[in-house]
A and B are shown apart, each in its own frame.
Chain A
Amino acid sequence: MEKPQSPGDFTIEALADLLDRHGSNPERWPQLQRAPALALVQTSADAERLLDEARALDVALDALPAPAMPSGLPGQVLDALPRDFAEIALDWLAANFWRPVGFALAPLLVGFALGNAQQDGTGDLEDAVTLLAFDEVQLFDLAENGNAE
């Protein structure tokens, strides 16, 4: 395990290397180097200048703008997902179900409407005549069968 460096061991070159590798934020520095590096900054004007330069770069980098992700992007991604055949078929049916059903029901509805429109009251009389005719046929059959026996 690496031993913590004492402030006396920590050189300007080591600080420059630390800042190059980790930036100016001491929280990102390796723990063992943090205390001696900060101690050096307290005691050396050159070390302080190095830290100031590193900070200036970090502040300038932080100031670079970056646009937020467009709010519609997640929706676009989800819409663009490739889907399997079953999903596509279900979606098609959901979107187009009224068409085959509509085509199937249309003649039925037209026939029903036409049938209703043509009823003018003579239907009942025609039915009665037809039933009467059946009754006569039945009576005629009974008479004939009775004679034969």
Chain B
Amino acid sequence: MARVQRKDTAAFSVLLGRHGAAVHAFVFRLTGDAADAEDFTQETFLRVWSRAGTWKAGRVKFTTWAYRIARNLCIDAWRTRRGSPADAEVDVEELAGDAPADDAGQTRRALETALAALPERQRTALVLCHHQGWSNREAAEMLEVSVDALESLLSRARRSLRKTLAPYREA
């Protein structure tokens, strides 16, 4: 990262190779849209390049910083488009209520819908810990909340999603 701060494109290319796929997966899990994932991943790394001078070693890990940039881009896009899932609190019980007979595809779609309907912070917490494999402490740093607060977000997210899945499990 020190070399990237000196505008070394070769070092930046290594950084991109090391973290690009994970940031892309993270953004896709947040947005659910392949085109957005591509655009926001590109923009995340362009910001990493242009703002590298503001990153301070020892204060925050590079990954934490990069994930924060990526997440902020997603939030900005949702606000601009006014389709913010954080604002769209969908009633998960309602989603679960009219569940069709079990089928892998239907279960997946129901889960995707429920995941997209979660408030942004709950979804981000779950994506960071479950899909990206970060520890609760690392995810808390990325979200800039305490570990307790993060675990509260995770608990609410998991309870909501389990309610969505319950009818499919029973079927």
**Which residues of A are interface residues toward B (Cβ below 8 A)?**
17, 19-23, 28, 53-54, 56-58, 60-61, 63-64, 66-70, 73-74, 76-78, 80-82, 84
How long is the Cα–Cα vector from A84 to B50 in the complex, in angstroms?
12
How long is the Cα–Cα vector from A82 to B47 in the complex, in angstroms?
10
B131 & A61 in contact (Cβ 8 Å cutoff): yes
B136 & A56 in contact (Cβ 8 Å cutoff): no
**CB-defined A-B contacts under 8 Å, sample of 12:** A23-B130, A53-B166, A57-B162, A61-B111, A61-B130, A64-B29, A64-B115, A66-B29, A69-B41, A73-B20, A81-B46, A84-B7
Question: Which of A22, A56, A57, A76 has the most C-beta atoms of chain B within 10 angstroms of its own C-beta?
Answer: A57
Q: Residues of B contacting A69 with CB < 8 Å?
A: 20-21, 24-25, 41
CB distance from B93 to the nearest CB of A (A): 16
How long is the Cα–Cα vector from A126 to B46 in the complex, in angstroms?
71
* Secondary structure class of chain A's binding surface, majority of residues: helix
The number of inter-chain residue pairs (CB within 8 angstroms) is 93
How long is the Cα–Cα vector from A63 to B126 in the complex, in angstroms?
15
B9 & A21 in contact (Cβ 8 Å cutoff): no
A53 & B162 in contact (Cβ 8 Å cutoff): yes
How long is the Cα–Cα vector from A57 to B159 in the complex, in angstroms?
10
In the complex with contacts A21-B151, A69-B41, A78-B16 CB distance below 8 A: yes
| Chain B minimum-CB-distance residue to A79 | B42
A74 & B16 in contact (Cβ 8 Å cutoff): yes
A81 & B49 in contact (Cβ 8 Å cutoff): yes
Q: Residues of A contacting B28 with CB < 8 Å?
A: 66-67
How long is the Cα–Cα vector from A73 to B43 in the complex, in angstroms?
11
Let me know if B169 is at the binding interface, CB within 8 A: yes
How long is the Cα–Cα vector from A67 to B13 in the complex, in angstroms?
21
Contact with A along B44-83 (1 / 0, CB 8 A): 0110011000000000000000000000000000000000
B13 & A78 in contact (Cβ 8 Å cutoff): yes
Let me know if B165 is at the binding interface, CB within 8 A: yes
B165 & A57 in contact (Cβ 8 Å cutoff): yes
CB distance from B12 to the nearest CB of A (A): 7
A73 & B38 in contact (Cβ 8 Å cutoff): yes
Let me know if B37 is at the binding interface, CB within 8 A: yes
Q: Residues of B contacting A66 with CB < 8 Å?
A: 25, 28-29, 131
Let me know if B34 is at the binding interface, CB within 8 A: yes
